[in-house]
Chain A
Amino acid sequence: MSDIPLVAELRTKFGEGIIDVNLEAIDEWVEVTPQVLVEVCQFLKQAEGFRFDMCNSITVVDYLHTDPKKAAKVDWDPHLEVVYHLSSIATKLTLVLKVKIPRWKNGVEGDLPTVPSVAQVWATADWHEREAYDLSGVNFLGHPNLKRILCPDDWEGHPLRKDYEMPMEYHGIRNR
Chain B
Amino acid sequence: MATLKIDDPRVIEFDVRTDEMLINMGPQHPSTHGVLRLVLRSDGEVVSDVEPHLGYLHRCAEKIGENLTARQWIPYTDRMDYLAAMNMNLGWSLVIEKMLEYDLPERGRHLRVIISEMGRIASHLVAMGTYGLDLGSFTPFLYGFREREKILNLFEEACGARLTYSYLTPGGATADLPSGWTDSCRQFLAEFKEVIPELHTLLTTNSIFVSRTAGIGVMSAKMAIDYGCTGPVLRGSGVYHDLRFHGEERYTEMYDGYIFDVICADPETGKYPESNYEFHGDSLDYPEIPRQAILGDCWHRFYVRMLEVVQSVRLVEQAIEKYEATSGDWGKPIRLIQKLPVKEAYMETEAPRGQMGFYVVGDGDSIPWRVRARSSSFCNLSVTAPLCQGILLADIPAIVGSLDVVMGEIDR
**Which residues of A pack against B, CB within 8 Å?**
25-27, 53-57, 59, 61-62, 83, 85, 87, 89, 92, 94, 96, 122-124, 126-128, 131, 135, 148-152, 159-160
Contacts and interface: CB of A to CB of B under 8 A. Distances in A.
A175 B378 CA distance: 26
Nearest to B370: A61
A94 B347 CA distance: 11
Contacts of B248: 94
19 contacts: A25-B344, A26-B99, A26-B344, A27-B344, A53-B225, A54-B228, A55-B228, A56-B355, A56-B374, A57-B359, A61-B369, A85-B374, A124-B228, A126-B382, A127-B378, A131-B378, A151-B58, A159-B60, A160-B62
Interface of B: 54-55, 58, 60, 62-63, 98-99, 225-228, 239, 241, 246, 248, 343-346, 348, 355, 357, 359, 361, 369-370, 372, 374, 378-379, 382, 386, 411-412
Main SS class of interface, B? mixed
A56 B357 contact: yes
A96 B346 CA distance: 9
Contacts of B379: 124, 127
Given A151-B55, A159-B60, 8 more contacts: A25-B343, A55-B228, A85-B374, A89-B239, A131-B378, A148-B55, A150-B54, A150-B60
B346 A27 contact: yes
Contacts of B226: 53, 122-124
Given A61-B369, A126-B382, A149 B346 contact: no
A124 B346 contact: no
A160 B359 contact: no
Contacts of A124: 226-228, 379, 382
B54 A149 contact: yes
Contacts of A62: 370
A160 B357 contact: no
A133 to B, nearest CB: 13
Q: Closest 5 interchain pairs by CB?
A: A124-B228, A57-B374, A150-B55, A127-B382, A150-B58
Contacts of B239: 89
B60 A56 contact: no
B241 A89 contact: yes
Contact of B60 (A53, A96, A135): A135
A159 B63 contact: yes
Contact of A27 (B63, B345, B370): B345
B28 to A, nearest CB: 17
A151 B412 CA distance: 11
A57 B55 contact: no
A152 B344 contact: no
Contact of B343 (A26, A96, A148): A26
A56 B58 contact: no
